[in-house]
Structure 1
Amino acid sequence: MKSILAIGECMMELIEKSDSLLNRSFAGDTYNALVYAKRYNPQTDCRYFTAVGGDATSKTMLSAWKKHNLNTDCALVSTSVTIGIYAISTDDTGERSFSYWRSQSAATQMMRLMPLPELINKIGQVDIAFFSGISLGILSDEDKGLLLELTKRLQENGTKIAFDPNYRPAMWNGPEHAIHWLELAYQHCDIALPGIEEHELLLGHTSPIKIMQYCQSLGAKEIIVKCGNDGTFVYECGELIAHQAFVAAPVQIDSTAAGDSFAGTYLAARNIGCDIETALIDACSVAREVVQHKGAILDIDVYEAINTYAKRNQLLI
């Protein structure tokens, strides 16, 4: 059975429904990606390495993961803290704002809850391990180093490491701090999924070629450069393999999980042997649908209608 491990944080999401009502769900960048990886190929063993609390809310979140058929065996439990929370507010113009309560969440402790050798044994053999700049950003610098050591050890054991910088300025002590750790992450990855906006902001890179050359110089082999209206470019060993032009969704309601759904779909497709062009087409198709709906995770009936891999192979989701 093929397997994917996602590393990061899933939080409780609160969305205003009215002045006195909040809707609760669970979301996070690598978690969202893992859900879409599982949706794309239900036969893939999708595991999530994170930390949760031992409280009722954490248990409710674990139950939600299981409803998506995710493997929770790698979710460590903290006895002292619980999960992070974020709230989304929308003003009269539709502009959204976010408030976070995550600085002391269980996931920020995930590298300290189990010695590294034991953690590696717990994770076991896995085909792809995926983490992001947010996975790093929530950790202390010491724990960032431990996470990168984990990816290095997994890579030495045959795992392909995938990394999406997913740069969030508020998570870093300035651009130099972010660049330092993102460069180390690129050095530990086989598959990189950078975006042109974050690279231009941090490093002044304004073309997919520049980004590819930079990532390749640090060690990445398969590089997927997301360039907004210019589409997405995929390079392998320095050669352009595929380009998917940007096709706007008929309507854009919520772009929150567009990049997450793209990453999860692309990695799931590549993991089961799809070629780069097929993986890119399918990932763009899912992301285009996701932005047309509220929330990070599409309803299953909506997803089934667009899962081209399932249609090609007559799979049941």
Structure 2
Amino acid sequence: MSEFLTIGEPIALFASEDMDKSLKDAVHFHKFLAGAEVNVAVGVSRLGHSAQYITRLGEDPFGDFIKDQLAENQIGTDYISSTPDYWTAFQLKDRVSHGDPSIFYFRRNSAAAHFEKRMLDKIDFSGVKFAHLSGIFPAISDQALDAFKYLIQLLHEHNIRTTFDPNLRPQLWSSQEKMAGTLNELAKEAEIILPGDNEGKILVGSDDPKAIADFYLGQSDRTQTVVVKTGAKGAYVQTKAGDSYTVPGFKVDQVVDTVGAGDGFALGLVTALMEGQSLRDAVIRANAVGAFAVQAPGDNDGYPTPEKLAAFLAANPR
């Protein structure tokens, strides 16, 4: 029994240590656990909450590495299956002094893309307070999309609160139109939606935070809150009850890697809400965890412990 649940494709990440060298020229790499949903699970666990992760792995060294990393981060693996027929995904990421890094995926036809929907019938939903869903898992295959929709059905049946991060990965979709249409349909099923303002251009035709929030609040009775991530500026919040406000972000001394910041935002929000904090305070925590994330080279190694988070918020009051 866990408080938090998510489904996704975990990846063995090889992050370059050679600054501003292309992946072709880089020769020094460090291996990390990565994947948007598993990043959130890592951060949730690090902040003291129990978490279960749902996926399928290959019976290979990368799969074994991921299992070890999940155990090290105290993430439940009750709903992880393994197969000798397909391989575990991995990726390469370069290191840059400015902007976002380049990423090259090796994930087509992976074990997670062949996730077996029947595994979802084994889930114990008792005690689950939140489920975090991402637009990446349903993008990796039609089989994964089918399983994703079934999980949503089960979550509704058990009255589990849900967050949804579109997490656009155009390279995983056959077209931008299919990506936007599918993700907007899936978003209708979530209580809280967490798009980025840059994603809004593709999903709703605007990068204006209010326009993005109006779209998602207007397309579904189930959606109650939209929190639009606006990068270093922070986040714009709008609720179906009529509240709307901006929560400013935190300044950091140095940005090392922006990958994982959005996942940090999600876990900050979810953990605060699980602890009974107000929505505004939850967004403050979300911004804070995002600030931690951009100061570390791995996708999730920068996420804070409760002590580090409390010290940061005390030193940077809002």
Q: Which band: TM-score by shorter chain? A: 0.7 to 0.9
Letter in 2 for 1:127: K
- Partner residue, 2:37: 30
Unpaired stretches in structure 1, ≥5 consecutive residues: 313-317
Deviations 1:169-211 (A, max 9, x none): 2121222101221122111111110111111133212322211
User: Contact 1:285 / 1:306 at 8 angstroms: preserved in 2?
Assistant: no
- The alpha-carbon distance between structure 1 residues 99 and 299, as it changes in their structure 2 partners (threshold 3 A), is closer
- Partner residue, 2:169: 168
- Partner residue, 1:59: 64
Residue 226 (structure 1) aligned with residue 222 (structure 2): no
Figure out how many residues of one structure are paired with residues of the other and give that number: 304
Q: Distance in 2 between matches of 1:274 and 1:94?
A: 33
Q: Distance in 2 between matches of 1:130 and 1:188?
A: 12
CA RMSD of aligned residues (A): 2.5
For residue 293 of structure 1, report the CA deviation from its aligned partner.
Answer: 2.0
User: Contact 2:101 / 2:257 at 8 angstroms: preserved in 1?
Assistant: no
- Partner residue, 1:127: 129
TM-score scaled by length of structure 2 = 0.87
Residue 77 (structure 1) aligned with residue 85 (structure 2): no
- The alpha-carbon distance between structure 1 residues 26 and 279, as it changes in their structure 2 partners (threshold 3 A), is same
> What's the secondary structure of 2:93's corresponding residue?
strand
Which residue, out of 235, 248, 253, partners 1:250? 253
Q: How does 1:137-156 map to 2 (within 5 A)?
A: 137-140=139-142, 142-156=143-157
Residue 269 (structure 1) aligned with residue 272 (structure 2): yes
- The alpha-carbon distance between structure 1 residues 311 and 196, as it changes in their structure 2 partners (threshold 3 A), is closer
User: Contact 1:286 / 1:306 at 8 angstroms: preserved in 2?
Assistant: no
For residue 311 of structure 1, report the CA deviation from its aligned partner.
Answer: 8.9
- Partner residue, 2:8: 8
Letter in 1 for 2:177: E
- Partner residue, 1:298: 301
Unpaired stretches in structure 2, ≥5 consecutive residues: 19-25
Q: Distance in 2 between matches of 1:171 and 1:57?
A: 21
- The alpha-carbon distance between structure 1 residues 148 and 221, as it changes in their structure 2 partners (threshold 3 A), is same
Counting aligned pairs with the same residue, the percent is 23
Q: How does 1:174-189 map to 2 (within 5 A)?
A: 174-189=175-190
User: Contact 2:199 / 2:207 at 8 angstroms: preserved in 1?
Assistant: no
For residue 133 of structure 1, report the CA deviation from its aligned partner.
Answer: 1.2
Deviations 1:240-292 (A, max 9, x none): 35421133322111111111111011111112211111111111112112212
User: Contact 2:60 / 2:88 at 8 angstroms: preserved in 1?
Assistant: no
> What's the secondary structure of 1:307's corresponding residue?
helix
- The alpha-carbon distance between structure 1 residues 180 and 249, as it changes in their structure 2 partners (threshold 3 A), is same
- The alpha-carbon distance between structure 1 residues 227 and 16, as it changes in their structure 2 partners (threshold 3 A), is closer
For residue 304 of structure 1, report the CA deviation from its aligned partner.
Answer: 5.1
- Partner residue, 2:138: 136
Q: Distance in 2 between matches of 1:262 and 1:146?
A: 25
Q: Distance in 2 between matches of 1:70 and 1:218?
A: 34
> What's the secondary structure of 2:198's corresponding residue?
helix
User: Contact 1:248 / 1:288 at 8 angstroms: preserved in 2?
Assistant: yes
User: Contact 1:46 / 1:71 at 8 angstroms: preserved in 2?
Assistant: yes
Residue 99 (structure 1) aligned with residue 101 (structure 2): no
Q: Distance in 2 between matches of 1:156 and 1:247?
A: 38
Q: Distance in 1 between matches of 2:193 and 2:250?
A: 22
- The alpha-carbon distance between structure 1 residues 130 and 46, as it changes in their structure 2 partners (threshold 3 A), is same
User: Contact 1:270 / 1:279 at 8 angstroms: preserved in 2?
Assistant: yes
For residue 131 of structure 1, report the CA deviation from its aligned partner.
Answer: 1.5
Q: Distance in 2 between matches of 1:264 and 1:95?
A: 21
